[in-house]
Chain A
Amino acid sequence: MLDTVLKGKQGYWGWLIFLLAIMGAGLGCYLYQFQEGLRVTGMSRDVSWGFYIAQFTYLVGVAASGVMVVLPYYLHDYKAFGRITILGEFLAIAAVTMCILFIFVDLGNPVRIMNVLMYPTPNSILFWDMIVLNGYLLLNLFIGWNVLSAERKGIHYQSWVKVLIYISIPWAFSIHTVTAFLYAGLPGRHYWLTAILAARFLASAFCSGPALLLLLCLIVRKVTKFDPGKEQIRTLGGIITYAMLLNVFFFILELFTAFYSQIPGHMHTFEFLFSGLEGHGRLAPWMWTAGGFAFVAVLLLVIPATRRKEDTLAIACAAVIISTWIDKGMGLVIGGFTPNPFERVTEYWPTTPEIIITLGVWATGFFILTVLYKMAVSVKEEVGA
């Protein structure tokens, strides 16, 4: 099927070259970071994870959300989604790859990464995260490839693939649960130490991932002859609505617990995030932006007329993506480290090399996504013709 990837119009090659250029810039900055150490980033003794881990956390959600098209199709026999499960699976592959790359660029000693395998440590959640992420990547590669090549040959995929598909469904939930456990089990980090964190992660994943998938479907319809379908987009809109409402609801639960109990440790991070603490409030405008976009998204999603109209639904999806990206990325990671264990505030802001490396990883993800989508769409066009 790789042959389909090598045939494309000018726009396809132009886009790939554009992504390659960003990847090159990211690689250049990464070599600089590799040489100098992580001191080229904005991270510090107090905020010891930053932009990279924020992207990682967000993208695990995007990867997990592939299950939102797989589950209705395979467990509920919702036939319409059969058309786009491959798009969900391929989005998951690109997202997991980015996750692994973000962990890699965050390591102080990347050449020692194999130590995680050489000294397996089951009591570390990071060990399990490595297993579930790589497992999910392999599952989606096997499933996506086999189902698509069977479709191209006009045959039914082999029965063992079905077993993998059934495994991949709970597996998708596991990747984001384990990622939440990275944070939720740490004593003394009040913002993360909440039983609802994994549930919040899944809720925000199941709105932001399908929102991205929906936008991708609209792009695919525009630039190719393959139409993911009106009904499919409409159903995705419904899924996004429920998940976004749950996401906002869970966030309000956190606010209630913190501010009704009045326990300082539980309130501090929210104060830091939304109004600033001890004169440090650089994140506040971002958090209010996230809040504003969440409000717009909920409004556009809940009102049936705007949800059913594709252009307003697209705006709602963009708003969901922006809102969840700020909240779950920057807000969650930096908020968790602020205030520090001495209840002092150290500000964090990503540096230019850090941002370029981040863009480089995103470009790598989109490169993979483009190539995989090109393959999927070519097969769909071929079969449809």
Chain B
Amino acid sequence: MGIDRRAFLKIAGLSTMLGLGGKAALDVFAPGEVEASTKGVPLTAGKRWAMGIDVRLLDDKVISEATAACHRHHNVPDLASAKEEIKWIWEEDYEHSFPGHQHEYVGDDIKHAKFLLLCNHCSNPPCCRVCPTKATWQRPDGIVMMDPHRCIGCRFCMAACPFGARSFNWGDPRRVTRIPELIAKNPGFPFNKDYPTRSKGVVEKCTFCVDLLEKGEQPLCVTAANKIKKGSFTFGDLSDAESSIRVLLRKRYSLRRKSELGTNPNVFYLI
């Protein structure tokens, strides 16, 4: 187990009071912990994370629980405006999830099937290619990350993403604590005091819950969905041939959104 920021600050603060400083203090209070947490950054090195979503198991409850779990953990506000909407994971129908695939003879089960869309964490991400400040980049474990503290808000990544996975803070998201009609829609914002809210003028998106992966947990949408329908979401390591996701992809037929564009999405839809 590593040492999180909160624990680090606690120890650092306490030790400063005691007149100890820097790493020496940590060696006293938590020997070996610093080495353990810095050596492993990112703590999921060597993995290639991917997600499988079983469309047959998606229903309204799974979709709403998975979405709510994500948006509450990451403090994604409801801004009550389609124009300014921020979303990390959202419901979409077949026709608009896979434009061009629809034909008039497709069965109702597929035609009316509900999909959950999110950042595909592409292996060849065009968003990272275009960013002029490296505010969005790909980690060695394949996760496409976003640093809202470096982002200049040029929105080049939004133009480059063929999946509409990126949202922009057109205004200050924290205004949901000030404007009455927005307060009513976002009671208790920020929902999660341990996760930062964003400021105006930056892009944000799904992170595959890196903070949880590092603790050895699964992304929130996966946990929430599987609580309701076991097996609706599968999350795992593509580099391990025996991982749950690899086994699933061998067994079942899967689709990826716009695979012809060569971005190599890592979210698979099992039909």
Which residues of A come within 8 Å of B, CB atoms? Answer: 36-39, 41, 43-46, 48-49, 103, 106-110, 112-113, 115-116, 118-119, 121, 123-127, 130, 182-183, 186-189, 264-265, 336-337, 340-344, 346
Contact = CB atoms under 8 A, between A and B. Distances in A.
Contacts of B154: 103, 106-108, 126
Contacts of A43: 170
Nearest to B93: A342
Interface of B: 82-85, 92, 95-97, 99-100, 126, 129-135, 150-156, 158-164, 167-172, 200-203, 258, 261-263
A188 B162 contact: yes
Given A124-B130, A186-B160, A265 B167 contact: no
Contact of A123 (B129, B161, B262): B129
A367 to B, nearest CB: 26
Nearest to B137: A121
Contacts of B96: 342-344
B202 A45 contact: no
B159 A37 contact: no
B132 A44 contact: no
B45 to A, nearest CB: 23
A108 B162 contact: no
B132 A127 contact: yes
B100 A126 contact: no
Contacts of B167: 45
B150 A115 contact: yes
Contacts of B100: 264-265, 343
Contacts of B156: 124, 126, 182
A49 B164 contact: no
| A-B CB proximity, top 3 nearest | A108-B153, A188-B162, A108-B201
Contact of B132 (A48, A124, A264): A124
A106 B154 CA distance: 7
Contact of B162 (A49, A113, A118, A341): A341
A260 to B, nearest CB: 19
Contacts of A265: 100
B217 to A, nearest CB: 30
A188 B262 CA distance: 10
Given A37-B201, A187-B261, A126 B132 contact: yes
B152 A45 contact: no
B262 A187 contact: yes
Contact of B159 (A103, A118, A186, A264): A186
